[in-house]
Amino acid sequence: MSYPYQIKSFEEYQQAYKRSVQDPEGFWGDVAENFTWRKKWDKVLEWNFKEPKVEWFKGGKLNITENCIDRHLETMGEKPAIIWEPNNPEERTRTVTYNRLHKRVCQVAQMLKNNGVKKGDRVCIYMGMVPELAYAILGCARIGAIHSVIFGGFSAQSIADRLEDANAEFIITCDGAYRGEKVIPLKNVIDDALIGNKTVKKVIVYTRTRTPVSMIKGRDIWWEDEMEFAEHQVEKEGKVFFEAEAMDAEDPLFILYTSGSTGKPKGVVHSSGGYMVWTNYTFVNVFQYQQGQIHFCTADIGWITGHSYIVYGPLSAGGTSLMFEGIPTYPSCSRFFDIVDKYKVNILYTAPTAIRSLIGFGDEPYKNNDLSSLQILGTVGEPINEEAWHWYDEHIGKKKCPIVDTWWQTETGGVLISNLAGITPAKPSWATLPLPGVQPILVDEKGEAITKKDEQGLLKGNLCIKAPWPSILRTTYGDHERCRTNYFATYENLYFTSDGALKDENGFYRITGRVDDVLNVSGHRIGTAEVENAINMHAGVVESAVVGYPHDIKGQGIYAYVIIDGKHAADDEQTRKNILQTVTRVIGPIAKPDKIQFVKGLPKTRSGKIMRRILRKIAEGETQNLGDTTTLLDPNVVDEIKNGKL
């Protein structure tokens, strides 16, 4: 497979960028010609950010799985699509060729059909990182069902909320998942999530850990049995066949829930045509992917990074995607690099938090490994600090691998701002230049473009995008107005990212982090309001306020100020543990505060608004310059909070 749209020089990048802005329809129409369409589109792009309404390749018909699988079979059927490394390195690894992937995805599609799943139905997937997770995703896409993958670190309550929001009728899960030394009992969590649920009809359970599970008659069925039955249906005379559903380019492909500044996570909806084109285009260009290379993205498929750069991007490009079940520190801190060495990985894509956690081990993580196969390194999920960048460059890349710092979001579907490996320049801790088709702008509070440079000659403002790229979110599931108010209403005719950024004289961008109440903890997005809601559910809690503070490894830690009523005042340590337990129940272990400080009052304005700015400063360790406190109802609470800081 060749990629005629792969940019090979800085000049080509400039030309592509220019054309993508002047003639987006011509530009993306040409790129889209490189895919398999059942019917060509009538119109490349129609849009307005007012409603918002964005339609790419309207009238076009396709199935993304034909692009990710079928079109590769003739020439690459026996090439590896997915290489799977189990949690336990002693266990047998698995290599899934494109032929095998085709068969398995056809079987899943047939299995889903047998169980009544139809185009447009929502299927919730809650599994560990096993190849069957990829089959499940692609099986849904093949029949046009909308998948909604939920990360294994979310609690039953979080799953229940998502099932309800998506009106999901089907679930695919595992008995359990291995994560380092631990076994997470996924099916049990699903059972808890289903108490009181009225929409789910079937739960398909894949066996991974042999964790005991309860199987409810008429509702719960085994993956293995169903797949075996389906195998006979899709296989005829040695040939495998399951007709893929022809989807409209704008039909939804999946929902992925993500945190915002309000209490309730939003179901971000991506379409099939635009998302396919963008994940492929960015995969091929940002990583400069070459046929035969092994791409190792360490993310979990429960997050957007896994969707786009383990599954859809690499597979649509006929690539080889390495999927790892475990964690970076098991059985030892060299695990990522044991894997790089073992499979001769060429591209490693990971998160700054993982890099920072490895730095603490000195040369232990890599000293016994041959890393000479590595050609390109990438990071995603949060700003990368210079120390981590240089460590990655020197010790992992041996100063010969370009590092791509890729900025993007669940809502953007794929990378929007990044250098292209070895093609456009890198600058440590800068995401650098926008991809073709991406038109960033920095604005002030009023939405006016920033034109005045600061002392360092940089522009600084809120990062917005002026026009749609093919994989911009289309809506938030079941609530389009929420999509509009969240992303398109802050500034007229702009998509607002909620990130702050700097821009230098070369037009390079540096993302400085969220400007809303969303935390980025170890690359995971968590809304402060969500955590507050969970804490407030705990008996005895009167009120709470949650802010982020700088954390050496996680990037941001969660700091909670909690008012507790006198009646329940057991000892503080016990109360802290109990609150953590409640947060784990309500959201999941990923949202547990790192610090809980009990306070008597919170700094509020006369109108009752919590002054988070002050709390943030105190959590950061600032005691002097807390800014203007004169508008506070009771300025004394600030001293009390300062004195009790953890």
Interface residues toward ligand WTA, by CB under 6 A = 258, 303-305, 380-383, 405-410, 431, 497, 499, 511, 513-514, 520, 525
> What SS3 state is found at 212?
coil
Which of 295, 514 has the CB closer to ligand WTA? 514
| Closest CB 379 distance from ligand WTA, rounded Å | 6
| Closest CB 500 distance from ligand WTA, rounded Å | 9
Which of 80, 381 has the CB closer to ligand WTA? 381
| DSSP 8-state assignment for residue 243 | P
The C-alpha atoms of residue 213 and residue 165 are separated, in whole angstroms, by 26
> What SS3 state is found at 379?
strand
Which of 404, 580 has the CB closer to ligand WTA? 404
Tokens of 559: 């700091």
Which of 234, 380 has the CB closer to ligand WTA? 380
Which of 80, 527 has the CB closer to ligand WTA? 527
CA-CA-CA-CA dihedral for 583, 589, 590, 592, to nearest 10:
40
| DSSP 8-state assignment for residue 570 | -
| Closest CB 416 distance from ligand WTA, rounded Å | 9
| Closest CB 237 distance from ligand WTA, rounded Å | 44
Which of 96, 502 has the CB closer to ligand WTA? 502
324 has which bridge partners? 85
| Closest CB 199 distance from ligand WTA, rounded Å | 26
Neighbour tally for 480: CB within 10 Å: 15
Nearest to 559 by CA among 593, 518, 601: 593
| Closest CB 268 distance from ligand WTA, rounded Å | 8
Which of 122, 307 has the CB closer to ligand WTA? 307
What is the distance of C-alpha 603 from the center of its chain?
Answer: 34
| Closest CB 405 distance from ligand WTA, rounded Å | 5
Nearest to 145 by CA among 211, 219, 98, 204: 204
Nearest to 461 by CA among 420, 490, 429: 490
* Phi, psi (degrees; rounded to nearest 5) at 310: -110, -40
- CA-angle at 55, arms to 49 and 61, nearest 5°: 170
The C-alpha atoms of residue 137 and residue 120 are separated, in whole angstroms, by 14
Which of 113, 264 has the CB closer to ligand WTA? 264
Q: What is the DSSP string of 69-109?
A: IIHHHHHHTTSEEEEEE-SSTTSPPEEEEHHHHHHHHHHHH
Neighbour tally for 9: CB within 10 Å: 11
* CB-count burial class (<10 Å; 0-12, 13-18, 19+) for 605: exposed
Tokens of 131: 């190849």
Which of 41, 309 has the CB closer to ligand WTA? 309
The C-alpha atoms of residue 406 and residue 429 are separated, in whole angstroms, by 10
| Closest CB 481 distance from ligand WTA, rounded Å | 21
Neighbour tally for 178: CB within 10 Å: 22
| Closest CB 469 distance from ligand WTA, rounded Å | 14
| Closest CB 404 distance from ligand WTA, rounded Å | 9
Which of 343, 408 has the CB closer to ligand WTA? 408
